[in-house]
Structure formats: C-alpha cells, structure tokens
Structure 1
Amino acid sequence: MSADRELSERLALVTGAGRGIGKAVVTALVERGARVLATDLDPRGVEALAEKYGDQVTARPLDVTDAAAVEALVAEAEAERALGAVDIAVNVAGILRGSQVVDLTDEDWAATFAVNSSGVFHVSRSAARRMAERGHGSIVTVASNAAGIPRAGLSAYAASKAAAVMFTKCLGLEVASRGVRCNTVSPGSTLTDMQRAMWTASDDQDPAAAARRVVEGDLATHRTGIPLGRIADPSDVAEAVAFLVSDRARHITMHDLYVDGGATLRA
C-alpha cells in the first residue's frame, strides 16, 4: 500500500506536539492526509503548527498529568463529531530529569512518572475506550531505548519509559479483539532539545564534538555508541510512528520498535 495520503479522513491526537519528535509526528501524519489534534503543555508550538497547516491541525493546550483534562479534551473533540472520532493517538509528551539515584529527589521521580507513565495511561485509556466501542483504532507510545537497557544518571526516565512500554503492551492485549492496535516506538539519541539538554555547557561551543561523543559511546558510563554512525533526526522516529498507525501495519500490535541506529544492540 502506498503511503501517499493513506491517513486521509482520520483524526490523530498527538501529545507533546509542540516541538521535537512530537512536532515531527504531526508533520508526518499531516503529509499522509490525517487531521491532527495537536496538544502540548506549552501552546505556542502547536499554535504555530495550526497556523502552518490550517484546517488540518487543531491546537489545544493539554497537561497529560491531569486525567480530567485529558478526558474532557477527547470528549470535546468527539462531541457531535466536532472534530471527529479519534482514530489515532500518539503519546509523545515526556520529560527527562537526569540524576544519579543517590541524588534523585522525590519530586523529580514523581514528576517524571506523572508525565512519562501516568500521562500515557490517561491519554491511552481515554482514546482506547472510544476506539474499542467503534471496533478500530491505533495507539502508539513513544518510549525510549533506555527502557530496555540501564543508563547511568537516567534511572527515573528509564524506569518511567519501561512502565509506559509494558502498559501499552498490556492495553494492546486487552483491546486487540476489538480491533485496536497498541505499539511503542523506542528512539535512541535523537537531535531534540531534550538531547541537547544532556550535553555539557562546553558543548554549546562545539555541538559537533558533543554529537560525536554520543555516536562513539562512553566507556566511563558503560554506554555503547551508535553503530549506524549518526544521531537520529526527529523525522526518523516520526516515520516509524506513521508506519505503525497505518494500515500497512494492520497485523502489528504489542510491538516495541527500536529506532536507535543499533545503539542498544537490541539488548
């Protein structure tokens, strides 16, 4: 099946859509004909997308940690088909608070899980209820390859993403008989603001050197490099999402697709 306009007449809800991978996902879905309800805690990025794409993108602020707000937004979108039935839900919203475990605060741990795990639960639950009733739908959670391999200084992030992966698989098992597919995409290092935030202050003067260190790996932190020799672009991740929500992936569910250039050696 051709990817050209393959998502026409479908409505996609995308969280964390204002920048980085979320923004790239919106672009990929719009290019395939979908209408997108683009949400973000900071409305500025999604409002810019709505201005760029016109009627194909509707921008809304959303705090995914607020279960009532999530349910209200989905209900509003579907009320009397204001926007239409949500056919696709993509969980991209996420935060990273890096710290060694012995220095990790309770607040950072709770905040990380509130967005990366509970946020996925809130959005997926709201979307899955309606999709299951209609007998079709696709949910994709953008997780991380850190969910599958230990990372020094990323315990809260890695654990929250692992929880999101297993939650999405369990949901997929429960709703498979009702025509709803649930998958995860697990990126490795991707050139986003989150990635840049992990670089040191000196890296601001030489971003190429910072990127090279990521590609080469770091024995001191027991981190492998990237065999393909490049950091991912957000569009690399978005293309994987677009495939999984399409009918080309109609027989794929409960799958975790790594998009990391081989960095984890698929541990």
Structure 2
Amino acid sequence: MPDHIPDGRAEFAGRIALVTGAAQGIGAAVATALAAEGAHVVATDRAAPGDAPGVTENGGTVTGRAMDVTDRSSVDTTVDWIERELGPLDVLVNVAGILRPGPAAELGDQDWADTFAVNTTGVFHTCRAVAPHLTARGAGAIVTVGSNAAGVPRSGMAAYAASKAAAAMFTKCLGLELAGSGVRCNVVAPGSTDTPMQRALWTDDTAPARVIAGDLDTYRTGIPLRRIAEPRDIADAVVFLASDRARHITMQELYVDGGATLR
C-alpha cells in the first residue's frame, strides 16, 4: 500500500464525507464506496435517502439526511450540523443533478433555471459552505461529478451541458484558490451510465445498444469500450480523487466514459 496509508487501515477511516444527490444512481454508489473505505458518509438528497447500510467491516457508515442544494439555508444548516454533531468534514462530493432535455432554441425559462439551480448553483452553495472549514484545517478534498457533455456538444442537451460545464470550471477555479491551503478540487466527468436519469431517455429495449453504437445523425460517437458504465465505475474514480493517493492532483477533470469523447 502507499506509504501514507497505514497498513490494515481503510483509506477513509475516521473521515467524514458529505455526498449530494445520494438517493440513487451515482450518488448512492459514491456514498456506499466511501463508507466501504471507512468513512462516515452524510448522504443527502431532497428527501433523506433510505436504505442506508449499517456499519461496514471497515467501520464506515452512512447517515441519510434531507438537504436541498438549491436552498442556501438548507445547505448551510446541514454543514453546520455535521461540524457540530459529527465532527470535521474532510470530503465533499457534488453529485446532485437533473436533466431537462430539449432543443436549445425551444427550452422553457423554467427548465433552464431549474437545471442551473441544481447542477451549478447547487455546487456553488455546497462548496461555499464547506470550503472555509477545509481551508481552516489545511486539508480536504472536493469532487464534483460533471459530465462528458460539458466538453462535447450534445443535441438536445444544451441546458444540461452548459450547467455541467459551468460547475466544472467553478470547481477548477475554486481549486486554484484553495490550493495554497492544501485543499484539492477535482471533477469526474461520466459518460452514459446506467442510472435512472439515463434510463429515462430510453424508449425501448434496444436503447442501450444504440447508445453504445452511437448515432451519426446527432453527431454522437459510440462508446469504444462497448459498454455503458455502472455507477460504481464513476464512484471508484471519485473515491480515488478524494483519497490520499491523489494528494498531488487538483484542478483536473477525469473523463470516465469508456472513450466516448475520444479524449
């Protein structure tokens, strides 16, 4: 094992992590993965996530709590509660996100506003609440789950892509500002992943095969690895970037999309 991880000790033993959008999909997978490595995870969503696992063999656990990332007071209250009742936060993972598909020139004002409220302003709210605690202690990690759509134009996904691009750049700028305090900020950019959000786009049983093959009519490449990601594939990347193994990595954007963006 790396020399900065004591032998026999889980990577996140004794650490506290806040995960947003943890009721399902990638967020739930991240919460489970961090807990498996010994973290005490506060898993949040608009409704408190249920079915939280008990204490893991490494001593990790998950506490579900309701939090609305679009509501500054909800975020501030949750962060204050964690610091007061559980202990110092070490990790923030921004996963909460929504998708309102549609042609760019036909998007409604509310769809645009709602998308940015969750995907972008939500990241701003959580980072602003957590960052002062991390910088005061001179350590910590923030990981924002973005999307490969933030780096490659997608038909019918203008609001989603723009909001994720904004969140990614905000996270990198924050990383630059916090680097001197020893706090790292990175982005994980998934491609097509088997989540409720992805499945909502599928119209029949052949949809997964079409995603893998790509669609020239919409200028969308397929997936070179010939598979759709599972949430745990994204969670593994998040856990790595939040861990001490990535202690010299900050302001980076890691694409986890099976090569779909040809980067």
TM-score, normalising length from structure 2? 0.94
The equivalent residue for 2:26 is: 21
* Count of residue pairs the alignment pairs up: 256
1:52 is displaced (CA, Å) by 7.8
Cα distance in 1, alignment partners of residues 215 and 55 from structure 2: 40
Structure 2 residue matching 1:39: 3-state secondary structure:
strand
User: Are positions 1:247 and 2:250 aligned together?
Assistant: no
Q: Does 1:84 align with 2:87?
A: yes
Q: Does 2:75 correspond to 1:70?
A: yes
Q: Which residue of 1 aligns with 2:37?
A: 32
The SS at the match of 1:86 is: coil
Displacement of 1:55? 7.3
Question: Is 2:35–2:60's contact at 8 Å kept on the other side of the alignment?
Answer: no
Higher mean displacement: 100-109 or 183-192: 100-109
Q: What is the percentage of aligned positions where both structures have the same residue?
A: 61
What is the identity, as a one-letter code, of the residue corresponding to 1:199?
Answer: W
Is contact 1:145-1:264 (8 Å) kept?
yes
Write out the 4+ residue segments of structure 1 that deviate beyond 4 Å after TM superposition. 50-55
Question: Deviation of residue 84 (structure 1)?
Answer: 1.0
Quick one: which amino acid aligns to residue 197 of structure 2? M
| 1:215-242, Cα deviation, whole Å (9 max, x unpaired) | 0000110000000000000000000000
| Counterpart code for 1:238 | A
Cα-to-partner distance string for 1:27-55 (whole Å, 9 max, x where unaligned): 11011111100101122xx2211568697
* Partner SS, residue 90 of structure 2: strand
Please tell me whether residue 141 in structure 1 is matched to residue 144 in structure 2: yes
Alignment of 1:228 with 2:239, yes or no, is no
Aligned residue in 2 for 1:59: 64
> Which structure 1 residue ranges, 5 or more long, are not aligned?
none
Q: Indicate if the aligned counterparts of 2:67 and 2:75 stay in contact, CA closer than 8 A.
A: yes
CA distance in 1, matches of 2:222, 2:197: 18
Query: Alignment partner for residue 110 of structure 2, among 101, 107, 111?
Result: 107
Alpha carbon RMSD of aligned pairs, Å? 1.4
- Cα distance in 1 between the residues matched to 2:31 and 2:60: 13
Contact 1:36–1:57 (CA<8 Å) still a contact in 2?
A: yes
In 2, distance between residues paired with 1:69 and 1:41?
10
After TM superposition, give the deviation of residue 99 of structure 1 in Å. 0.3
Unaligned runs of 5+ in 2: none
Describe the SS at the equivalent of 2:174. Answer: helix
- The amino acid across from 1:119 in the alignment is G
The structure in which a higher percent of residues are helix is: 1
- Which amino acid in structure 2 is aligned with residue 249 of structure 1? A
Secondary structure in 1 matching 2:186: strand
Question: 1:226/1:234 Cα in 2 relative to 1: closer, same or farther (>3 Å)?
Answer: same
The one-letter code matched in structure 1 to 2:191 is G
Q: Is the 8 A contact 2:54 2:61 kept in 1?
A: no
Work out the CA distance in 1 between the residues paired with 2:68 and 2:173: 24
Structure 2 Cα separation of the partners of residues 217 and 153 of structure 1: 15
Query: Could you tell me which of 119, 123, 140 is aligned with 1:120?
Result: 123
2:199 pairs with one of 196, 199, 210: 196
Whole-Å separation in 2 of the counterparts to 1:197 and 1:58: 28
Structure 1 residue 76, shift from structure 2 partner: 1.1
Pair 1:195–1:47, CA change in 2 (3 A): same
TM-score (ref. length: structure 1): 0.93
- Partner in structure 1 of residue 170 of structure 2: 167
